[in-house]
Amino acid sequence: MNTTAVTHNRFSRRRFVMSGLYGAAAACLPLPALARVDYGIVGRSAPDLEIDYWIDRNGEPTGFDLATTRSNWVFLKCWQDWCPGCHSHGFPALKRIADAFVDNPHVTVVGIQTTFEGFGTNTRDKVRKIQLQYTLPITMGHDAGDPDGDHRPSTMRNYRTGGTPWMILIDPHGVVVFNDFSINAERLIDFLSQETASYVAP
């Protein structure tokens, strides 16, 4: 079997397994300019994160580069402080996932405030506020669009996110394997726990 076929079969298996990861919660504040069919980039390589504001789990300035996480599973949670869906199900799910893998060297969990509206409210200072409010032991960033131009920040454009909350899962090969407004946190935790139990780098 050629490499292309092997990769396709691996991806198909993971899509089947992760079909149970989709949550039932409704989307919060989707961006109307995008059609639902255009959301997400499942099956594509994860683009670099063009973000210049990051804090570590202790609130100190840091950096983050997806290239440093290659061979890890990476879970990205996109949010806005004023998003009701983020607070009702997005952050609670992120908290469960972050706590489950805080000591797992093969899983990286990151939160990004992708501000595309409410620029005077969804500001940089809210990143630390949310980190403290939900006691999130993770790196977090702030990515804002241009209030006077394209409101969509780079993460929204590059990952075709539909608004907030938005969940993205990247496999150890750097391929996006899940993206949607909600996720079943318990099933994701089970899935990643099994995937990393006897981990061999790709």
Q: Determine the pLDDT at residue 16.
A: 42
What value does the CA radius of gyration of the chain take, rounded to a whole number of Å? Answer: 16
The answer as to whether 156 is a domain residue is: yes
- For residue 18, what pLDDT is reported? 55
CA–CA distance, 143 with 24 (Å, rounded to integer) = 27
Within 10 angstroms of residue 2's Cβ, the number of other Cβ atoms is 7
pTM of the model: 0.84
Model confidence pLDDT, tens digit, residues 139-185: 999 999 999 999 999 999 999 999 999 999 999 999 999 999 989 99
Per-residue confidence (pLDDT) for residue 28, from 0 to 100:
39
Tokens of 125: 């200072």
CATH number, domain with residue 86: 3.40.30.10
What's the rounded Cα separation, in Å, for the pair 111 and 165?
Answer: 10
Query: In the structure encoding, which two tokens stand for residue 201, read together?
Result: 């780098």
One digit per residue, the tens of pLDDT, for the chain of length 202 reads 333 333 444 444 455 455 566 654 434 333 444 334 578 999 999 999 999 999 999 999 999 999 999 899 999 999 999 999 999 999 999 999 999 999 999 999 999 999 999 999 999 999 999 999 999 999 999 999 999 999 999 999 999 999 999 999 999 999 999 999 989 999 999 999 999 997 666 6
85, part of any domain: yes
Residue 202 placed within a domain: no
Instruction: Specify the number of domains making up the chain.
Output: 1
Chain centre to alpha carbon of residue 110: 7
Evaluate whether 114 touches 164 at the Cβ level (below 8 Å).
yes
Q: Write the CA distances from 120 to 111, 115, 135, integer angstroms.
A: 20, 10, 24
Domain membership of residue 39 (yes or no) is: yes
CB under 8 Å to 190, separation ≥6 — which residues? Answer: none
Domain that holds residue 141: 3-197
User: In the prediction, which pLDDT does 15 show?
Assistant: 53
Using alpha carbons, list the distances in angstroms from residue 166 to 25, 31, 58, 90, 180: 12, 11, 24, 8, 6
In a domain, 136, yes or no: yes
Whole-angstrom Cα distance, residue 122 to residue 115?
6
Cα separation, 170 vs 183, whole angstroms: 14
